[in-house]
Structure 1
Amino acid sequence: MIPETDALDDDVFLFVDTETTGLEAGRHGMIELAWTIGLTGRDGAERYEIDPWRDGHHPSWSPEAEAVHGVPLPAVRGAPHRWGPVGPALDFLSVVSKPGTIVVGSNPRFDLAFIGAALPGGHTLRDVETIDLQDLFAACYPEELPKSGRIGLEAMVRRLTGSPNHDQAHTAREDILDAQAVFCHLRRAFIASFVGANGHLPLVADLMEACELGRGIRQLTREGRL
């Protein structure tokens, strides 16, 4: 259930990112998982370097993974991993199960699918509330959305913060920090617009409605109707 709380209350927001051996959860696995709570990360950040071939998992490695992460397969296999995928996934489950938690990221359903695939007992994490930064960006800046309807995290970072793109390999920890920065900018823009139109601060539910609007804008953009 979406919490009826002020959108300025940041403790409901859980930022998460994964790095994976490919793009299909179940067939591919996690090589890194990171998350942090709140807009400033004041509660610290958890980061796990994962050996995806432990805990009974046998994922394949896709060339797409190297293209996305800039990390070759030998580097993953040769890393001194402390974790298999199950322990980090269970740790994340204990955090995301807190009532009112909303997971934030760029396409966070992708990350949740990989975490869910690592969990024993058939957990899917499908009931977790999410904010996709691409949807929120579309709601706040529809005129700047690419014709594909998709804008990546790094492009949002450049547009909103002026920070440079990642040059080479990047990590899940770097991505959650980027996601925090992007969300802070988008949240401020949304709140300013909402207050201007309504005269009072929004609830988190209003923020979620804006994301639904942004999702529709992205769909219409992809279809060439905007």
Structure 2
Amino acid sequence: MTAIAFVDTETLGLDADVHAMWELAIIRRENGVDTEHLWQIKPSKIDLEHADPEALRINGYMDRMVLPEDYWAGDMSHPCGIPHPMKRDELRTVITDLLSDAVMVGSNPAFDAAFLKVFLDATPWHYRTIDVATLAAGYLRGVDLPTGATSTEAQHPFSSRKLSLAVDVDLPGAGVAHTALGDARWARAVHDAVMGGVA
């Protein structure tokens, strides 16, 4: 069975060609087993000069960036319990291995894929990504077909928040929403609600 990678990035803005990724979570599911990974990446001074202040506010960069000054990147899920330092090439190799041939799933994974492509200079994941909002909307439309009803949540433009609630998945709360691991877990929960659990 093909591996699944539930992915979320936190970034310094919306444009992958201008803004840097500073936090990344990957939950890789293989043979029904999930492994969680979380990294922070220290932006350069130039990256921070180009940062969108609204993005920093939404994702809590100022409060949540915890890497020591001398770290380039840190494995935040390392067994030692504290950020474990990593070099760029080491991190790129680990991320590439985790995403290799996996189906990327997320809330708007095209956004995450754009930032990952810039960071990795490659696209090791399966070419067809899965957006959980689109998945949930299709599911709700399918449920409605026999009755002829149409879920208001399944209408364009999709709201991932409304669709999440429509498939009985609670939204991430304060302090969890707009964190890479919190949003990756949320995408996994929506995916599993629609697809019937862990595959």
TM over 0.5: yes
Structure 1 residues 135-164: Cα deviation after superposition (integer angstroms, max 9, x where no partner): 111211142336542222x44433323525
1:183 corresponds to 2:191: yes
1:58 corresponds to 2:47: yes
Residue 128 of structure 1 corresponds to which residue in structure 2?
Answer: 127
Rate the CA distance shift 1:146–1:67 in 2: closer, same or farther, 3 A. Answer: farther
Rate the CA distance shift 1:162–1:43 in 2: closer, same or farther, 3 A. Answer: closer
**Moved runs in structure 1, 4+ residues, more than 6 A?**
none
- The alignment covers a number of residue pairs equal to 172
Structure 1 residues 61-119: Cα deviation after superposition (integer angstroms, max 9, x where no partner): 102313432x15x4366643560666434322222223xx2111111111011111112
Rate the CA distance shift 1:169–1:138 in 2: closer, same or farther, 3 A. Answer: closer
Residue 14 of structure 1 corresponds to which residue in structure 2?
Answer: 5
Q: Distance in 1 between matches of 2:96 and 2:169?
A: 34
Amino acid at match of 2:47: H
Structure 1 SS opposite 2:196: helix
Residue 33 of structure 1 corresponds to which residue in structure 2?
Answer: 24
Structure 1 residues 4-27: Cα deviation after superposition (integer angstroms, max 9, x where no partner): xxxxx5x52111110111111020
Q: Distance in 2 between matches of 1:40 and 1:161?
A: 25
Contact kept, 8 Å, 2:10 with 2:22, in 1: the verdict is yes
Amino acid at match of 1:187: M
Structure 1 residues 34-59: Cα deviation after superposition (integer angstroms, max 9, x where no partner): 111228973421100111228xx736
Q: Distance in 2 between matches of 1:36 and 1:75?
A: 24
Contact kept, 8 Å, 2:106 with 2:131, in 1: the verdict is yes
- Please give the TM-score of this superposition, normalised by the length of structure 2: 0.70
Q: Distance in 2 between matches of 1:127 and 1:163?
A: 28
Rate the CA distance shift 1:185–1:169 in 2: closer, same or farther, 3 A. Answer: closer
Residue 93 of structure 2 corresponds to which residue in structure 1?
Answer: 90
Residue 118 of structure 1 corresponds to which residue in structure 2?
Answer: 119
Structure 1 SS opposite 2:47: coil
Rate the CA distance shift 1:86–1:20 in 2: closer, same or farther, 3 A. Answer: farther
Aligned residue among 167, 173, 178 for 2:174: 167
Q: Which has the higher strand share?
A: 2
Structure 1 SS opposite 2:13: coil
Structure 2 SS opposite 1:149: coil
1:149 corresponds to 2:157: yes
Amino acid at match of 2:107: S
Contact kept, 8 Å, 1:36 with 1:45, in 2: the verdict is yes
Contact kept, 8 Å, 2:12 with 2:22, in 1: the verdict is yes
Rate the CA distance shift 1:64–1:140 in 2: closer, same or farther, 3 A. Answer: same
- Please give the TM-score of this superposition, normalised by the length of structure 1: 0.63
